[in-house]
Amino acid sequence: MDSWTCAKCSGHNEADDRYCGNCGVACNPTIVAPLVRPAAPATGLLTDLKEPPVAAAEGAIHIVAAGLLAAVIFGGIYHLVARVIDFMILFPAVLGFAVGMSIRLAALQGRCRSAPLLVGVALVAGLGAYGVRQAIDTWKVRNDIRAMIADQASEVNMPAPAEAIAGVTLDDALRTRAEVGVGFGRRAKTRITGSAYYGFLLFEALVVAVVAAGCARFVATLAYCASCRAFMPPVPVFRVNGRDSDKLADAVRRQQWKEAQEMSARSSATAADRAEANLLRCSVCNGSSLRVDLHQGKRSKKVLHVALPSESLEALARTA
């Protein structure tokens, strides 16, 4: 058969055509059009995903090195800036933020997620950075006192006594700083001197340490891939009220995405009372998982963490 004419629309078709090019009717009436069914949604229970234990020693070298360098570098920068202008409390907070961010970057690079290690190094590095600034300030005051003794001797045309110059120690310089104190208010009329001055220095040092620890500890809260040991940013998919955390976890485990979406749409969750299902996708090994976390006030806990196969991820993408 060289060609054939469609019995329905009289369209002309080639011999190799099994269906009419105009209306789609089959050449042989016994041939039926193929039936295209939509892909069935993924069903079944998702399996739990065991998170790897936290190794305290992992990335410790990066953290300690970053803390040491940050303490020396930022402490020295703070000394130079403070010689021109110094905002009490504010600048120590900025110093703590700089130290904490340095440790955070080192933790991400070294894949360290041990909260005790991060907080401990950040506290020590924060105190060290503030101590470097104060040590340089005290050393400069000592040199200024020695230079003042030499200038006084030159005014009376006498050589400066070497014993007097060498006798000025860092302790003497620190006592001098305490006697001068630090001024507050307009024109620095209100001053903190004596033992209160040392208390003020301790308070600023604690500000630096606490801010640094808070910045560094953030790394310990990040999601972590069990396969390739890489950090993963969480992407919120569903959010419900805290009291519905178990219902959300059950819907996620059973892959009832539509039900989870409806629960999320009806919820009135707040930042202080919520349960979130976060999608975790690793950019290194392309692994995917869903983790349900319950947040109540400042307390957070994991409710469920399940692996997410590719077909389940596709079904979730069509729903969420």
Stretch 277-294: mean pLDDT:
86
- pLDDT greater than 60 at residue 33: no
Stretch 114-143: mean pLDDT:
94
Stretch 158-178: mean pLDDT:
81
- pLDDT greater than 50 at residue 99: yes
Strands of the sheet containing 299-307, edge to edge, are 235-240, 273-281, 288-296, 299-307
Structure tokens that stand for 102 in this block: 């340095």
Spatial separation of the C-alpha atoms in residues 280 and 316, rounded to whole Å: 13
CA 142 to chain centre: 42
Crossing angle (nearest 10°) for helices 115-155 and 170-180: 90
Q: How much is the pLDDT for 37?
A: 44
Exposure of 123 by Cβ count < 10 A (0-12 exposed, 13-18 middle, 19+ buried)? buried
Q: How much is the pLDDT for 134?
A: 95
Q: Which residues make beta-bridge pairs with 182? A: 192
Q: Of 206, 218, 201, 214, nearest to 97 (Cα)?
A: 214
Q: How much is the pLDDT for 42?
A: 57
**Over the stretch 47-92, which tens digit does the pLDDT of each residue have?**
888 766 666 677 789 899 999 999 999 999 999 999 888 888 899 9
**Over the stretch 239-248, which tens digit does the pLDDT of each residue have?**
999 999 999 9
The pTM (predicted TM-score) of the whole model is 0.68
| DSSP 8-state class, residue 36 | -
CB 6 within 8 A of CB 25: yes
Structure tokens that stand for 269 in this block: 């969750």
